[in-house]
Structure 1
Amino acid sequence: MSRIGDFLSLEQMRRLGAKSNLVGGLLVLHAWALIAGSMVLFAWWPNPFTFLLGVMVIGGRQLGLAILMHDAAHGLLFADRRLNDRVGSWFCAFPVFTSLTLYRPYHLQHHRFTQQAQDPDLGLSQAFPTSRTSLRRKIVRDLTGQTAFLRRGEQIRRALGPADAPLGVQLGTLWAREKGSLVANLVLFAGLSAAGYWWLYPVMWLLPLATWYQLVSRIRNIAEHAVVPDNDDPLRNTRTTYANLLMRLLVAPYWVNYHLEHHLFLFVPCWRLPQAHRALLEAGRGPSMELKPGYLAVLKAATSGPATNGRGRGERGTQHI
């Protein structure tokens, strides 16, 4: 089994592992600034272009909030642990109906058993390669809200508890389990209502969350572990995908595309992952790493399987963050 010392010097580890409250705060502010800016643009100049742009940018930043929550799950978003967990929950996880507390142990198990039988996310990668027809069906379900409907339905059913419990008990259980997400979204709705634009909440928050966010989450999942060449090699059981500025804006926010480096160096904050990537390349590790030039190349490899009829392998709506 490879050790971190096989890839980085002690000085590199110290430098790359340094956290920053300032940078963490700026990243969260950046995500919300893009979301607010997209809403303002559409409210000021409503037309099909600003609508589509808003849905795509906001959906991409909703994934960005999930990515920053993911960093918080590793204790990397802020140097201060209390600040890390509070901001990671209230400003990143809860607005997109996710729980940092529930996500953390699940995700750490994924890291401990990456691409092994005990990996809770193994089903996401085992479904590939699939056919182009199968992927098109998935994309249609994502962009029409079907994936979101299934996922949120499952989430609500779990939160309600036993199906035979009295309605009052079920609602109380739902509130206890989902109150963070409900409060955060009520605050967002109230803020937009106070500004005189209540309709932006369903149109420019829930709609992107139900459509574009679902699609880019799926693309991210495929890029990270699908059709990797070696499930046992830490340089090849996950992938780094190069992303240009447009892809970083709409599909791969906050350096999520450097997934190989993240798995290799769990102590490195997301904004230092490009530096970790350069360190690996300078050490001559490039030929041994699973790298793709872009997301289209990943999707091409992931759709090299045979055509299927109906629901193909792994067409469940489950997606990890």
Structure 2
Amino acid sequence: MASQLHSKPQVRLDRALFKARPGESLLVIGYALSLYVLPLALFVWVANNASTGWLLLSAPLLVLAGYGLFLQAILGHEGFHFNLSANPMRSCYLGILTSSLLPGFCVTGYFVDHWQHHRFNNSAKDPDYRHFSRYRSLASRIAVSRLAATSNYLHATLRLAFGPQSEPSPLPLSAAHVQRLARCNLACQLGWLGLYTLAMVWVDGLLLGFGLTLAVAFLLSAVNAYQEHAFSAGPQQPPARSRTSRLSTWLHAGSNFHLEHHFYPAVPCWRLPRVHRQLLDSGWYADKHYLLERRFVASFKYASGRHPYRGDTVND
């Protein structure tokens, strides 16, 4: 019989870690935008001004840009956790504005599932467990899992925007507020798509660069769920994994500390490395190193079928 092992650590954190600061949030938003826009712009410049050989050598720029684009979705996640502003609605609007840079990703519909994911982590009531655990091969996880999830989030956002207001609200906001957020989300999606289209008409090479960047971001988002929740087969059912390499922290803005996020979702992701260090210093991780992945490249192995997306069968 499988069992859930880890309750929230009994460690008192500095209350300042939980406080949303607009200046910090804007700096992180600027960092994510820079990681996306600057490598993409440099790749487009190379595509327009250099030889094919230099174009191939500049391909790693698209990996950086892909991480930057994926970070926009993470900022949407932070916004709906109310971590971008002390004002919950302002935080959500900031999350919508940034995450809508990723075409097709509707964070409002996503968070309906994500809210339940936090409430029922890894149980049969967890929407993420029900969705991602059905994909057992690397090919289906990469090609299908995220595409299907993104489609579900879009349909959920459409229902929230134009369907009857649900009671009770599916989020810790009023039904009227959720409807406004969903409509804003769809408007931002259309707005960014329009700006992308205009930019691609004006800038030679942008269509190629953006298309490849979007493909990288899609692949990163597809494997991310398994990097966070897939473990080797066995009786233990850990709640989540933290990836602790410095490169992961830079590229994910701290959201790679996913176990800490599940324990403390009201702490902005860029402060989670501090939470992790405090848990290490307290000795909480002394016998729990299997919850950590210290190597950047090795973390991608969890997308393979050898590592099932875990569920807590005690609660099934």
TM-score band w.r.t. shorter chain = 0.7 to 0.9
Mark the CA change 1:50 to 1:19 in structure 2 (over 3 Å): closer, same or farther.
farther
Tell me how far apart the structure 1 counterparts of residues 86 and 252 of structure 2 sit (CA, whole Å). 21
3-state DSSP of counterpart to 2:191: helix
CA distance in 1, matches of 2:158, 2:212: 24
Deviations 1:75-110 (A, max 9, x none): 002233343122211122354322232222221100
The percent identity for this pair of structures is: 24
Which consecutive residues of structure 1, in runs of 5 or more, have no partner in the other structure?
Answer: 162-174, 307-312, 315-321
Contact 2:75–2:98, Cα closer than 8 Å, also in 1 = no
CA apart distance, 1:63: 1.0
Partner Cα separation in structure 1 for residue 240 and residue 104 of structure 2: 27
Tell me what 1:237 maps to.
239
Counterpart of 1:171 in structure 2 is none
In the comparison of the two structures, how many residue pairs are matched? Answer: 272
The answer for the alignment partner of 2:257 in structure 1 is 258
Tell me the SS of whatever aligns to 1:96: coil
Q: Which residue of 2 aligns with 1:101?
A: 108
Q: Does 1:25 align with 2:26?
A: yes
1:1-321 matches, within 5 Å, as 6-9=9-12, 12-46=13-47, 47-49=54-56, 51-93=58-100, 95-123=102-130, 126-127=133-134, 134-135=137-138, 137-138=139-140, 142=143, 178-191=186-199, 193=201, 196-197=202-203, 199-200=205-206, 202-209=207-214, 211-227=215-231, 230-231=236-237, 236-245=238-247, 247-248=248-249, 252-289=251-288, 290-300=291-301, 303=304, 305=306
Structure 2 unaligned regions, length at least 5: 48-53, 160-182, 310-316
C-alpha displacement of 1:283 = 0.9
How far apart, in 2, do the equivalents of 1:304 and 1:103 lie? Answer: 25
Scaled by the length of structure 2, what TM-score is found?
Answer: 0.72
CA-based RMSD: 3.5
Give a deviation string over 1:96-142, Cα, whole Å, max 9, x none: 322232222221100000000100000355358x5xxx42x358x64
With the length of structure 1 as denominator, give the TM-score of the two structures.
0.71
Partner SS state of residue 283, structure 2? coil
CA change 1:248–1:205 in 2 (3 A) is: farther
Q: Is contact 1:124-1:226 (8 Å) kept?
A: no
